[in-house]
Structure 1
Amino acid sequence: MPLSGNAVKAPLHDQIMEMQRKIQLLEGDRAAHHESSQAAMKKNREAILQLRQENKRLYRKLAQANAGDEHIIKAAFHNRGLEKDVYRNMSGKMALTTLDQKALSKMKRLNALKHTTQTYEQRLEEERLTTINNLRALENSLEKTQFKCKEAENIMTNYLKLKSHMQEESLTFQSQLDSLEAEILKSREELHNLQVMNNDAQHSKEAAKAELQKQEEQLYKERKERERIIASYRKKVEERKAHAEKVDRRTQRANMQQDELSSEVQHSTTRMTGEEEKAISTFEEAFQRIKEATGVTDVQDVVQRFISQKETHLHLEKLKAENEKMIQQLKEQKELLSQQFQDVKYSGEAKLSRWMLEESEQRLQAQQQKCDVAKERLDWLVKTISTIRAGVEHLANKLQHIRLVNPIFATMTLMPVDNFGFNTLLLKISGDIQTYQFFVRIERKLPSYNTRVKLPEDQSLDLFNDEDESEEDEADILSREALKRQSQLIVDSKSKKKPWKKKKGKF
């Protein structure tokens, strides 16, 4: 990894040195151009001053122009050399005009040179700023690269530690797998036994339910038969009792009539007695029915019962009138309350709607705030995950060519260990644990009457022995950090299952 770091640092250093050389060259060019521009400007200023002085002198001698322009031109251009020959045949005014034109052209040229100088300076400043920005960007990129390099080194160290730890734990995977397979076999055998017990208990329950239903039906039939016989016996007793009373009454009336009446009256009354007997028998039958309906045997009680019924009827009529009056009052009160409700409804509808609107807006703002917070957190998580993923992918690309061989494990003959093997083992162990937890949940869902099925003593002893052996195996598994959580689930499930097994042994 340090070699790769030096390889990254060397090109960056060369680029920085090259940029610095370019900057120095640009600074030199700018200084040279500036000096040349300053020299040209100075020369032009001197020429302008000199021309102005000459113009002033020519103006002073303008009055002498008509007297002799050639003399003036010679005097003006006595130290110019070839320029004196150019103005030899010109008048003073023409020479002055020509000089003015030259002065204007030189002024224009001076302005153009100034503009060019400013343009070059501005371009040089822009290039300098661009170079500075590029240099800063390169420095930032260098810092980020160094930071990522450090992070990659830390991640690589952690991966190496994790790899060594996994290689150490791979030594115990076979024993752990054997113990887990033994646990699974025990659990399957126990599940089979529990299923057999459940089936037996279900059959026993169904047989008991059928027997109970049969017994209840038989008991119901016997009770109905007894009630029918008792009712028939009661009816016969009442009929015989009524017949005996009728016979006694007729005998008593016949004896009294024989003692008091004569034979003639007896003959006439015999016809009347037949009609009276019919009426009496009719009244007696009606009275008997009344007694059966009311449940009393004395005449006074029957009369008292009818009187009380009359009072009850009057009381009920009175209650009916009071209730009708109360219903009328309640109806009026209902109409009044309905009117008040309509008034309140139409008057407070605007307030209620405004209050509901404000409450809804508050809820909406709260939900929007929650949504914004959740969105910010989601963006942060996505950004973090993308950064981590990029770092891990970059690190994986950098570490593809590295193959570490531990000398401790190189001397030992072990089965080949790779990521696929680890994932396969972990998936198998997690699947076995889920199967075991499923069996435990099935055991917990068994009905309560299932615990009363007796088991052979040898089987219960074997179960307790299996528990002890599994607890010893779990002690070995608990000593390893890799499968501690998974083994803890098995221990918890078995600790919850122990009282159930003891209860089976008792019964």
Structure 2
Amino acid sequence: MMPSNGRMRQPGSQEAFTEQVDLQTDKNKRKIAQLQKDNKDQRRKLKELLEGDEKVLNDAFAGRKGERAAFKNKSGYAAIQLTDEQLGDLKNKLNSSRHENAAKQKQLEELQTRYDQLVKDTDEAMRTDAGESETAAHLRQLENRLDKAELKCTEAVTIQRTYNQIKSHLIEESLTYTNRLDAMEQQIRKTQAELLEVQRIATEAELAQKNAKNELKKSEDKLQRPTSPQEDLKDRLSEQDQSKIDMYNEAFSRIKEATGASTMQEVVERFSSQDETTAHLEKMKQEAEQHTAKLREEKSRLSKEFEEMKYSGEAKTSA
């Protein structure tokens, strides 16, 4: 190498430089030789590897030249990848074939089931025509149950008709009793009002009679003529006494007109009969109310029995 200052080397330094160059050259040669050797070894290993992959492929595809041709000039890794792809395709085809096979197997089973049912139905139909099958026996049972259900239905219709008649009768009676109760109550109120009026008039009349007797006795005592006629006594009475007598007579006339009696005894008897009539009306009212309650209970009982029979008939018919 030339010095950096461009001056000529000295003879001693030239020899050293030459030695250094020779050493470097030998070193490079050894390195090149080693690299050549390494390259040769790598080529040998690669050849062995390729020959090994080739051997593996030949062994794997022994007797299958057509398939082996697809892996020509391919490494083991590439062959594995291609094999994986082909294996995936084969798995997909296998799964598709299995699915198709399962569908066909299911269809075959359905056809076999239909065939078995058809054979069974044919045999059942032949036995039914002969009257020996379970269907025929079941059919006869259904016919018997239908006959019984029709009888129950007819019975239920009859009961319903009777129930409707009884119900209508009870409704009419309940309406009649209601009207009769209203009439009785009205009559009781009217009779009670008349009774109060008559009692008031009777009280006034009795009081008037007592007053008249007292006044008459006083007048008789005053005149000392107990055996004289009433007309003579009337002439001697004062105008006030005469007005009282007239008022008492008018009250008695009103009592007779209201009660239809002609004497005081009849008025008393009429009061007593009014009390008995009121009590009788009250008793009739209570009896009518009790009879109405019984009719309502009877109606409710008949309705319940009819509903039970109707539901019982429907349940048996549906069974």
Length-normalised TM-score, structure 1 = 0.25
Structure of higher CA gyration radius: 2
